[in-house]
Structure 1
Amino acid sequence: MSHTTTSPSNRGSLRRSGRNLLKLLGGKAVNVPLGLLQISLTIHLLGDKGYGFLILIHSFSQTIGDLAEFQSWQTVLHYGFKPYTNNDIPLLQRVLRFAFFLDICSGIFALIIGFLCAVYFGSYLGWPAEWHYLGIFYSFSVIFTTSATSNGILRLLNRYDLIAIQGTVANFTRVLGMFVLIYIGGELVDAVGIWMLAAILNFISFLTFALYQLHLHGLLKGFLKGINQGPTKNLPGIWKFAWNTNLNMTFSLAFKQITTLVIGGTLGPIAAGYYNIANKIAEAMAKPIALLQSTLYPEMVRSWQSSKPSHLYKMALQITMFAGVFTSLVFLILPYIAVPVMHLLLHKDSTPETLTLLYWLAGAELVLIWGMSLEPILITTGNTTGAICARGIDVLIFLPMLYSSIGYWGMAGIGPATVIAAFVLIILQAAFMFMRKKRNSVIQ
């Protein structure tokens, strides 16, 4: 196993990030239409209410999994980059063992909490009483949501092509399953089973790709040899980093699955389904650029650990300008495609309220794209506390605002609350970034 240890150049990092982005886009070029197709097929099979319920139990499972998951992919990159480039296999294996340990613990914890919450709180989540047992059954899928270490391994080894391939597994399984169920006349219980199968195959494919790449790089040989030396030897601060990145992701959930759960609990499964569809379209349009954030982390780690902070900030600025301008131009076409796309997915004309929500959510995505480099900078430079505080303050503002907006205006209140929260988040992240940068300048 040989690696280059030369300091990265700004142009080289951008090229490498661009190549990795193209690999991910190759997967998304398949995954986005697959995702929209599975929405259309599922609504055709189950109707608005059935689809909304399926989204609610899936969002519940993802929420519990994300809350429990330690985001160990960031730990793999942050602590694994130097031993990987220096060919220090024992230390790299220790990092990977620690990350897998986190995944196992979070998976067990998620399974217990998910099952208990499904049993006792399903009615508060907007689950119809007659389908409560299906929510309990689907809660077991949370154990298959902890694939962060596998993700980190593929990023560390620069195998974004495999990440792109793996990203299509779940949607392909759902699409194929929905086609079969429509043909044989399947029902909601069958659809829940298909979505459970998709979660299992998604987990297995991720783990298989990661382990096979470790084998090819000679990193599985003697993998358990140093296990008696303790999981964190020569890895100072790794527990703090793992906890901080986990807390940061916990707060970021407010913009994803938790929003769906709040809508389902207050407005019902049909409204949750409409929100999910509008959000999927907005995310799909921003996805090509949003994927840049996942390719930025390795390049930022290379820059920071090679003592090239000026390169890190310059690269982030270049990426942000390109991403913001490009996404702004792409979103100009949204008013021309929104109506036919929504009709295609819903099999009927969408309500003006749903279209308005789509435009608000697209605006929130655009705001977040303009701030996409801020969180990777905070985490890469070791300011995980700043990242947590920014997310935490934003959540404390967003959730009460979301509840009150829904209470006053119903579904029409979701969009403005989401856009305001997006602005608050990037302002806070920028403030914490500049404070850390200024403090580092004073120390130097």
Structure 2
Amino acid sequence: MVQNFGWMLSARVLAAVFSLIYLAIITRSLGVSGFGKFALITGAAQFLANLLAFQTWQIIVQYGVVHIENDDSTRLARLYRAAIALDLLSAFVGIGASALILHFFADALGMTPTLARATLIFNVIMLISVRSTPIGILRLHDRFNLAAAADAATPTLRLIGAVSAALVHPKLQGFLIAWAIAELLTFAAHWYAVHRIGELRPILRNGKGLGRVLSDNPDIVRYSLTSNFSQTLFMSVKQIPLLMVGGLTGTAAAGAFRLAAQLSRSLTTVSQMIARAAFPEIVRAVRSQGARSLGTMIAQSFRVAAAVGAVVFVLAVLFGQVLLETIGGSDFGRAYVSLLWLTGAACIDLALVAFEPTIMAARRAHLLFLARLAATALLVVCAILLEPTMGENGVAAAVLVNSIAQAFLLGAIMQRILRRRDTATIPPA
């Protein structure tokens, strides 16, 4: 897991550095209100992609381990094809939903026909560029080095695109085009990485009889749905606060909030990175020894994550205001309080880093989904109640409430898994 984490860390460090640079370029070019529009368009597209996309990478890792152990390349190829089919289905549904939303609500959203077309094209590209399946294939084979190289394409291409747009067409449409091209090329980079490890040829030549994927992988439908609902909720909830700020407070507030969220999200990204690096090995450990064997590892990760989170929060208190104004300008300093609320939430998420992969590996995804659904409902209610008096800071405070609620609920689920051996051990697939 340490080696896996190392490769992912290198890609994320590069992404963090480059993101600060291209965010500075965009905020300086568009201003706080223009950047707010950009943030709302890209955030809405990401929300839709997350809402409809299946987490096929988890399905591949969960069930692909068995086929590799049995040296069954045909069933593995069928699993890959099924994951691709799910990605395509999600993309087509999302494209239809995007077209309908923009057709009926473009005027209400204040979009010109040109901007509405650009937004639709951007949404289409975001949806067809979902790369969950190639990511799952690379992680299944422990090729985190290639996955990290492919991931590094996104911030690199965004930086190149931001510089190009600032020089050639420093308008909203110019930056949307740059983002869309970056997504397409990153999608291509991930599939090229799959080709490099020799897994693209089996997908094209083997795996016939897609209907047999259900008998090949017992309980895959239930696992796919529950894991998808949980992950969809987790990924989508990142965009809900931004969309609420834009709808309740305005585009200028949304722009400042988006920059604060981006800075705090770097910590959340670290927690996701650790979880994704650990997931393949946790699946193997739980299959062979049961979830109770992970108690020591979870306790250690909790202590380390809590210490790191405390340090990061102190840094946010000391340097957050300066960083916001350095990147975006003085208008973005208004997001300092929001940054503190969001960083506090990210610190809690980091402390819970080992909970999600353990719950998923123990096939308790339905409990994870219910916990996140309850926490998300609490977020929306708190945001609506706090926004009239606190503005965008109230929405940020609601994000912290969401993280605290998740901490209590996921902690209760973990106790149940670790205490009950008979429900913690995964049955043979």
State whether structure 2 residue 305 is matched by structure 1 residue 346.
Answer: no
| Distance in 1 of aligned mates of 2:198 and 2:403 | 38
Alpha carbons of 1:294 and 1:122: their partners in 2 closer, same or farther (altered >3 Å)? farther
1:385 matched residue in structure 2: 366
Distance in 2 of aligned mates of 1:285 and 1:433: 23
Q: Distance in 2 between matches of 1:36 and 1:307?
A: 43
Q: Indicate which of 408, 421, 430 corresponds to 2:389.
A: 408
What letter is aligned with 1:423? Answer: I
Change in 2 beyond 3 A, CA 1:103/1:408: same
Q: Which residue of 1 aligns with 2:162?
A: 178
C-alpha distance after superposition, 1:135-169 (max 9, x if no partner): 23322223234211111111111111122222222
Residue 181 of structure 2 corresponds to 197
TM score, norm. by length of structure 2? 0.92
The superposition leaves residues 152-200 of structure 1 with CA deviations (integer Å, 9 ceiling, x where unpaired) of: 1111111111222222222222211221222235322222211111121
Q: Distance between the aligned counterparts of 1:294 and 1:228, measured in 2?
A: 27
Aligned-residue identity in percent:
21
TM superposition shift of 1:256: 0.5
| Correspondence 1:210 to 2:210 | no
Check whether the contact 1:93–1:223 (CA below 8 A) recurs between aligned residues.
yes
1:27 counterpart = 2:8: no
Q: Does 1:357 align with 2:338?
A: yes
Match 2:262 to one of 276, 280, 294 = 280
| Alignment counterpart, residue 223 of structure 1, candidates 203, 206, 214 | 206
Q: Which is worse superposed, 389-398 or 92-101?
A: 92-101
1:376 and 2:376 correspond = no
Q: Which residue of 2 aligns with 1:9?
A: none
1:42 aligns with 2:26: yes
Q: Does structure 1 residue 245 correspond to structure 2 residue 219?
A: no
After superposition, residues 4-153 of structure 1 pair within 5 angstroms as 17-122=1-106, 127-129=110-112, 131-153=115-137
- 2:407 equivalent to 1:423: no
C-alpha distance 442-267 of structure 1, shift in aligned 2 (>3 A): closer
Distance 2:423 2:26 in 1: 57
Q: Which amino acid aligns with 1:22?
A: G
Query: Alignment partner of 1:165: what SS?
Result: helix
Aligned partner letter, 1:36: L
Deviations 1:105-148 (A, max 9, x none): 11111111122223223466x55557444323322223234211
- Do the aligned partners of 2:5 and 2:277 also contact (CA within 8 Å) in 1? yes
Q: Secondary structure at the match of 1:434?
A: helix
By how many angstroms is 1:253 displaced?
Answer: 3.7
Task: Kindly state the Cα deviation for residue 364 of structure 1 after the two structures are TM-superposed.
Answer: 0.4
5+ residue gaps, structure 1: 1-16
SS of aligned partner of 2:391: helix
SS in 2 for 1:369: helix
> Which segments of 5 or more consecutive residues in structure 2 lack a partner in the other structure?
none
- In the alignment, what sits opposite 1:4? none
Aligned to 2:298: 316
> In structure 2, what is the Cα distance between the partners aligned to 1:228 and 1:174?
37
> Tell me, what secondary structure is at the counterpart of 1:231?
helix
Q: 1:71 to 1:228 in 2, by over 3 A?
A: closer
The one-letter code sitting in structure 1 at the alignment partner of 2:143 is R
**2:330 aligned counterpart, secondary structure:** coil
Alpha-carbon spacing, 1:121–1:407, altered in 2? closer, same or farther (3 Å): farther
2:147 matches 1:166 = no
Instruction: Answer whether contact 1:282 1:365 (CA < 8 A) is retained.
Output: yes
Counterpart in the other structure of 1:13? none
CA gap of 1:185–1:105, structure 2 versus 1, over 3 A, is closer
Q: For residues 229 and 368 of structure 1, do their structure 2 counterparts lie closer, same or farther at Cα, with a shift above 3 Å needed? A: closer
Q: Quick check: 1:27–1:167 contact (8 Å CA) kept in 2?
A: yes
Which 4+ stretches in 1 moved above 3 angstroms?
Answer: 121-124, 126-134, 218-222, 285-290, 436-444
Q: What's the CA shift for 1:441?
A: 4.8
Residue 48 of structure 1, CA deviation: 1.7
Residue 372 of structure 1 aligns to a residue in which SS? Answer: coil
Pair 1:150–1:221, CA change in 2 (3 A): closer
Separation (CA, whole Å) in 2 of partners of 1:268 and 1:359: 21
Contact 2:8 2:277 in 1 (8 A): no
Distance 2:423 2:343 in 1: 40
Normalised by the length of structure 1, the TM-score is 0.89
Q: CA RMSD in A?
A: 2.3
**Alignment CA distance shift 1:399-1:229 (3 Å):** closer
CA distance in 1, matches of 2:204, 2:178: 37
Paired letter, 1:115: A
CA drift of 1:209 comes to 1.4
